[in-house]
Structure 1
Amino acid sequence: MTLDDIIASLFPDGHDVRNDKGVIHGSATLRSGSRMLVLGVADRTALGVDEAIKLSGHVLESIGRGSGPILVLVDSDSQRMSKRDELLGLNEFLAHLAKVLIHADMNGRPTIGLLYGHSAAGALLATGLATRVLVGLPGADPAVMDLPSMAKVTKLSMDALEEKAKSTPVFAPGLSNLAQMGAVHMTWSNATSLADQLEALLAGMPAAQDRRDALGKERGGRLKAAEIAERVRDLALQAR
């Protein structure tokens, strides 16, 4: 499905969503009649300082003048790897974008990420993974870190990583592996109305508490994360 097809299926009651050089912004009417803020990254655009600050601005502006949920559409490259962006503090811009999405979610604006194309590394962390719930469409191609990059960081051979990826989702890119780890809440179907699937998700939105670690344990993708996180919380409370 193209971006236009996806938006048309999501919002048959109308929208003013636009794609401005890879930055998505606008609003749409839900079946309930309420409005939803829509933003994101399109056309496999790398997420740099310019894109991140635009998206952050849209979210912050909407908090002061509107209500309703926020949808983040994602089809990006990784973060923009340029000298200019790095010197301007790209890490801070990406962190700022993630924080404003979390801030909105914690203040009455439930956030949903919809991964319909590619995304990787910092771009994925600052958009889809910063929302309360991340949904995937069939054919989406996410990767927190590809295996060649992982080999450079871990100093493990590609052969070793490819072998680990066969049995351990943490070492493997792809939608199904992120779902098994709990990062992707669910995968929608292209065969039925996306508007119906969106309304069903909004009606049964999980609590704002991040449950990705618990989902990863339930699905067998991350067996230790939830337990370790709980132990860290207990230690932090004891140290108060």
Structure 2
Amino acid sequence: MNLDQLLPALFPAGHRIERNDDVLTGTATTAAGEVTVIGTANKLEVGVDHALALSACVLASTRSHPTRPIVMLVDTAGQRLARRDELLGINGCFAHLARSLELARRRGAALVSLVYGESVSGGFLSFGLMADRIFALPEAQVRVMDLRAMARVTKQPLEKLQALSLSSPVFAPGVDNYVRMGAVEAVWQGDLAAALAAALSEPQRLDLRRERGLERGGRLLAHDVARAVAAGEA
């Protein structure tokens, strides 16, 4: 689903979302009330300028409406791999964006992400993955790292990682695998406006991704290891 189809489906009551250099910022009306909207479009490779624009919108929302929910629409091919962005400290700008979202959360804003296109690497980690609850459309593509890049980083043969991806969702891309791991809570189909309103109306909860991953058979150790660490047993 492209952005021109998505926005009226999510916000039939209207929105005031601007698109500048494929960065989305603005507000929208939902059945659960007004929300701040940030996001990316056209498989944007997120760079320094994009990260600062997104964080500025988050901070403005937190300043004026501390408890207003923030909806993040994700379509990114990852972080921008450019010399200029590296020299300007893209890692620090991504950290600033993540801290801005954490501040919003601590001030009482619910954070909800919807992956409607691609969600890859640092472009996803810096804002979409920061949400309390993450949802996706069926046609979305979710992967933290391409297997070819993972092979270069881990020094493991690509063929070995491809074989592992057949049995372990941790190594495999795709929405279904991230649902199994608990990172994506659910896939939305049908009435998207109703699905968003329901997600926003539910009270904020503790992070249940480890529990979901265990229940769905996608992450079998994270829950017990985290519990042991918290209890001082590890």
Give the TM-score band, short-chain normalised.
over 0.9
Structure 1 segment 165-204 matched on structure 2, within 5 A = 165-189=165-189, 192-204=190-202
Amino acid at match of 2:25: H
Deviations 1:4-60 (A, max 9, x none): 21110111111111211110011011124x210011111111111110011011101
Structure 1 residue 205: deviation in Å?
4.5
Where structure 2 has 5 or more consecutive residues not aligned to the other structure, the ranges are: none
Tell me if the contact between 1:114 and 1:137 (Cα under 8 Å) persists in the aligned partners.
Answer: yes
Structure 1 residue 232: deviation in Å?
2.0
Secondary structure of 2:16's match?
Answer: coil
Match of 2:220 in 1: 223
Secondary structure of 2:134's match?
Answer: strand
Provide the TM-score with structure 2 as the length reference. 0.95
Match of 2:35 in 1: 36
Tell me if the contact between 1:102 and 1:131 (Cα under 8 Å) persists in the aligned partners.
Answer: no
Amino acid at match of 1:70: I
Match of 1:113 in 2: 113
- Structure 1 vs Structure 2 CA RMSD: 1.5
Match of 2:140 in 1: 140
Deviations 1:129-185 (A, max 9, x none): 101011000110111011101111111111111110000001111111111111101
Deviations 1:54-88 (A, max 9, x none): 10111011111114211000001110111111122
Secondary structure of 1:166's match?
Answer: helix
Structure 1 residue 203: deviation in Å?
2.3
Tell me if the contact between 1:182 and 1:212 (Cα under 8 Å) persists in the aligned partners.
Answer: yes
Amino acid at match of 1:131: A
Provide the TM-score with structure 1 as the length reference. 0.93
CA 1:51–1:173: 2 relative to 1, 3 Å: same
Amino acid at match of 1:232: V
State how many pairs are aligned: 233
Q: What stretches of structure 1 move > 4 A for 4+ residues in a row? A: none
Between 20-29 and 100-109, report the one with greater CA deviation: 100-109
Match of 1:104 in 2: 104
For 1:231 and 1:100, the matched residues in 2 are separated by 30
Determine if the alignment matches structure 1 residue 64 to structure 2 residue 101: no
For 2:40 and 2:68, the matched residues in 1 are separated by 20
Structure 1 residue 204: deviation in Å?
2.5
